[in-house]
Every structure is written in C-alpha cells, then in structure tokens.
Structure 1
Amino acid sequence: MSAAYPLSSCIEWQFADAGDLDARLRAARAAGFELAEFHLWRDKPVDALATALAETGMRLTSLCVDPRRSIVDPGERDEMVDAVRETIAATAVLGKPNLIVASGFRVEGMSEEEHFANAVAALRAAADLAEEAGVMLLLEPLNTRLFATMYLVSTTLGLDLVEAVDSPNLRLLYDVWHSAVMGEDMAQVLAGRMHLVAHVQVADMPDRNEPGTGNVDWDQVRQTLRDLGYAGAIGLEYFPTMPMDQSLAQSRRMLAD
C-alpha cells in the first residue's frame, strides 16, 4: 500500500523529541518524509533550517505569514501587506515555500459586504507581492471552536475570495479538520472548485489527532480528493497521541490507496 498523495510532516507538532526545528526536519527525513511544514517563522532558526533543507534534500510545503494581521480591518492592511513582504524576503532562503494567510477577526459594526471588500483589497495587494516574487499565498479558513469571532471560517467564502482576487498566486488551503469542525460537507463545498485549492491538511475529529483516531471517514476523504482532481500534497497537521513511528504508520495506512 502506498500513500495516495505525497505527505508533509507538520514539524511544529511532530518529532518534538528531536529538539529544535532543524533537528525535527532531519528526523522527518529519516522517517521517510520529503516534505515538511511549520507555522510562524520569526521565532525559528531560519538559517539552520536552510542548511538542513539543503543537506536533506527536503522541501517546505508551507509556513505562515508572520506576524499575523487582519485582512478585513483596513486599519491593519498596511501591516498585513508589510508582513507578507517581510515573510517573502525572509523565507526565500527556505526555497520559497507557500505562505499561509489567515483572515483575522470580524470588525464590530462592519457589514458582510464591507468585510468581503476589505479582504479582497488586502489579498489583492498581497497577491501582487507574491506574483512579483514567484511565491504562492494560501488563504486558510479556520473554525469558530478555536476562534469564535474569526472572519473566515467557511470554505465556500474562502473560495469566493480567491475567485474575487483572481490571482494565480493566491489559492486556498483546505483543512479537513477545520472544515469538519464547521460541519461542512467536503464534497459539496469543493465541488467544481478544486482547481483553486493548492494544499490540503488533515487531522481527525474531534481532537485534531492522527487519522484513524476519530470519526472522519478517511476512505471518503481520499475518494473525494481523487474524484475532484486534487493533485497536491497532504499536510499531516495533527497532534500525535502515540510514538511517532506508530503515529506515522497509522496516518500512512489511513491515507493509502
């Protein structure tokens, strides 16, 4: 049995026993990974990571724009665009990974139309920078369990924003766990729009652990991705509940053809 898609280890939460992030990257390579991802970069050993990437031949699939700033609050727009600019420059040494953007929180008293228009304006400015640098931005919908007033908690809305911005350098990050928390039907929200999705992350429900530890139907997830034509990697963004060798064996089994 082989994995249906290339798998990317979230070294933010995995291989923690190895130590610093560059050591976790090497541990992931020793475990058979060619892809890895993590979250914010400003507190990370970027130069050491660059060395580890070069020595292992691994590739980063994604990391987060840092600092996180709102795309819907016009008072934070300049800071948000600056954060994208700085992240592009600082992480070029890491091979120009995809850069994840979250929406920020709803602004009290602002209409839905204003939220949407502000988000489009901020994302369009950020996408201009990404196009110039040859970098992909990933817009990620989250969920209201973790962030009660987060603006973007809907896959459909996220895809609407990507379509409205209309940039080849802005796509959606579809997270199975966030989507499941929000009660979405995966096949329904992605139907006809998978070409706008550039990365998929997975974790089981309800506690964001390994595939196979909860109630997600992983056969259905794989089938849906195949049916809709997804051709990218799958990020294992979960909290391990068992030793990493066992955790990864189970994840690979759940995600295998």
Structure 2
Amino acid sequence: MSAVYQLSSCIEWQFAEAGDLAARLRAARDAGFHLAEFHLWRDKPVEAIATALDETGMRLTSLCVDPRRSIVDPAERDAMVTAVRETIAATAILGKPNLIVASGFRVDGMSEEEHFTNAVAALRAAADAAEDAGVLLLLEPLNTRLFATMYLVSTKLGLDLVEAVNSPNLRLLYDVWHSAVMVEDMGAVLAGRVHLVGHVQVADMPDRNEPGTGTLDWRLIAQTLRTIGYDGAIGLEYFPTMPMDQSLAQSRRKLSD
C-alpha cells in the first residue's frame, strides 16, 4: 500500500504572487496545503504570520535559525547558540516549529577530528537550549555545488553528528536534492538510521523544481522512504514550474507511486 505523506509548501519560493509570507500561507491553504515552511525569519512579518496560522489552521514544519553561524568555528560558538536561543524565543508564537541548523564553512588548518569535535560541542549546547524549550533542531547537510567549502555536505556525517550529540531534540533534515547533488545512495545512507531523521525535503535534479520535472527516479525515492520507515512530513522545497495546485497534485502523485 502506498504511503500518503503530508506535504509542506516552501512559501519562501512558492506563492510569491500572493505577497508577504502571511498572504502566502493563506494562498497555500487555498491550494490544499496544511503545512508550510520558510527560511530566515528576521526579515519576515512574524506576528502577521502567527495571525495567519491561527486563521487558517496551517502549521509550520520548519524555518531556519537566524542568523546563520558556524558550528565548527569555536569563535562563532557563542553567537551560534545565541542565535538558536533568540530564534526559539521569537518563533514560539508560530507554534514552536522545527528549527534548521546548517554547519557553516570549513576552517583553514583545522583537522577533520577538530571539525567534528567542535561541531558536537556547538550542537550539544544548542540542543540543551532546544530541550529546555521543547523545540526540535534539524541539522541540514547541504552540497558543494552551492557552497564549495561548506563543512557538512554528507548525510552520513550529519547522522554521525546527531548520534554523537545524542539528544532527542536534534535530528537530521534529509534533503533529496542536496543528497543527489552529492551523488549519495539514498537507501544506503539512510538504512537503519531513519530514527535520526526529523524531516525530509524534495526537489528534482538538476534545477530544483517539482518532482517529475527532472532526472530523479521518484518511484524509487518513494519506495525507499516507505521501505526505511519514514512517516513524517515532506517539504516541497523547490521552485515551481507550474501553478501550485497543479504542482501539488504532481508532487502528491510522484511521492505516492
């Protein structure tokens, strides 16, 4: 039997014609979504978004810790943890959505072991804040096409970090597009570790559009998600090439094949 996933609209890139993010939430609801997500929050109308969430019954799956600070550079650790605490406080009125953390860039002259140790220390401090607040942090591996010197560009390494921190309030964000750019075998990197994954995002290769517009095998991706036991929401973090009601219908079809 096919899994039916709850799909989350990335209103950062979708429904732009509606206006600000509060208006985009309403447009997403009208198009059939119940979940939404976006990126940074400091330049967004947070109170208006909270009102729109109340009015529409929509729920935010995630947004990014803002500002982004490095987890591997000790000189930025205090600022990184402060950003987590400030994001937790500022977004509580949005229903305590999951908060996405990226790694930051590699530090010249630092060994792999030092990078890993520093990342664990920073994530442990951030997880302490998340545990106190009852919020889930999502650690996101990115890719070297977009960010040539980004530290975390490997799903395996991301899962290793989550395991090392060992907090119920830190999980991995698995992004199918970033993983495909890095030529990872999705089934292999997630096998036996899906319990460490808190959210999945999707987009097709190569241009980051909706499933079915590019080269990825969505039947295999959907089958793999079912096989490994992922049952959470799926974020549609892509640039749409068609009206969003059609885009949502196609995404639903591709992810339930």
State the TM bucket, normalised to the shorter chain.
over 0.9
Structure 2 runs not aligned, ≥5 long: none
The yes-or-no answer on 1:53 pairing with 2:53 is: yes
* Equivalent pair of 2:88/2:135 in contact (CA under 8 Å): yes
Q: SS of the counterpart of 2:54? A: helix
The yes-or-no answer on 1:111 pairing with 2:111 is: yes
* Equivalent pair of 1:142/1:154 in contact (CA under 8 Å): yes
* Cα pair distance change 1:2/1:45, threshold 3 Å: farther
Task: For 1:197-212, list aligned pairs within 5 A.
Answer: 197-212=197-212
Matched AA of 2:137: L
Aligned to 1:142: 142
* Equivalent pair of 1:205/1:214 in contact (CA under 8 Å): yes
Aligned to 1:240: 240
Aligned to 2:83: 83
**C-alpha offsets along residues 197-226 of structure 1, whole Å, 9 cap, x if unaligned?**
010000000010010000111111111111
* Equivalent pair of 1:3/1:252 in contact (CA under 8 Å): no
Aligned to 2:181: 181
Q: How many Å apart are 1:252 and its aligned residue? A: 1.7
**C-alpha offsets along residues 25-68 of structure 1, whole Å, 9 cap, x if unaligned?**
00000111110000000000000000000011110000000000
Q: How many Å apart are 1:245 and its aligned residue? A: 2.3
Aligned to 1:166: 166
**C-alpha offsets along residues 121-169 of structure 1, whole Å, 9 cap, x if unaligned?**
0000000000000000000000000000000000000000000000000
Q: How many Å apart are 1:247 and its aligned residue? A: 1.8
* Equivalent pair of 1:4/1:222 in contact (CA under 8 Å): no
Aligned to 1:249: 249
Q: Give me the CA root mean square deviation.
A: 1.1
Q: How many Å apart are 1:243 and its aligned residue? A: 2.1
CA–CA separation in structure 1 for the residues paired with 2:72 and 2:176: 24
Aligned to 1:74: 74
CA–CA separation in structure 1 for the residues paired with 2:176 and 2:230: 14
Q: SS of the counterpart of 1:195? A: helix
Aligned to 2:226: 226
Q: Percent identity?
A: 86
Q: SS of the counterpart of 1:232? A: coil
**C-alpha offsets along residues 79-113 of structure 1, whole Å, 9 cap, x if unaligned?**
00000000000000000000000000000000000
Q: SS of the counterpart of 1:199? A: strand
The yes-or-no answer on 1:15 pairing with 2:15 is: yes
CA–CA separation in structure 2 for the residues paired with 1:245 and 1:16: 14
Q: SS of the counterpart of 1:174? A: strand
For these two proteins, the number of residue pairs brought into alignment is: 257
CA–CA separation in structure 2 for the residues paired with 1:67 and 1:217: 35
Aligned to 2:35: 35
* Equivalent pair of 1:35/1:60 in contact (CA under 8 Å): yes
Q: How many Å apart are 1:117 and its aligned residue? A: 0.2
* Equivalent pair of 2:32/2:245 in contact (CA under 8 Å): no
CA–CA separation in structure 2 for the residues paired with 1:231 and 1:243: 27
Aligned to 1:190: 190
TM-score by length of 1: 0.98
Matched AA of 1:83: A
**C-alpha offsets along residues 176-204 of structure 1, whole Å, 9 cap, x if unaligned?**
00000000000000000000001000000
* Equivalent pair of 2:21/2:45 in contact (CA under 8 Å): yes
Structure 1 runs not aligned, ≥5 long: none
TM-score by length of 2: 0.98
Q: How many Å apart are 1:256 and its aligned residue? A: 2.2
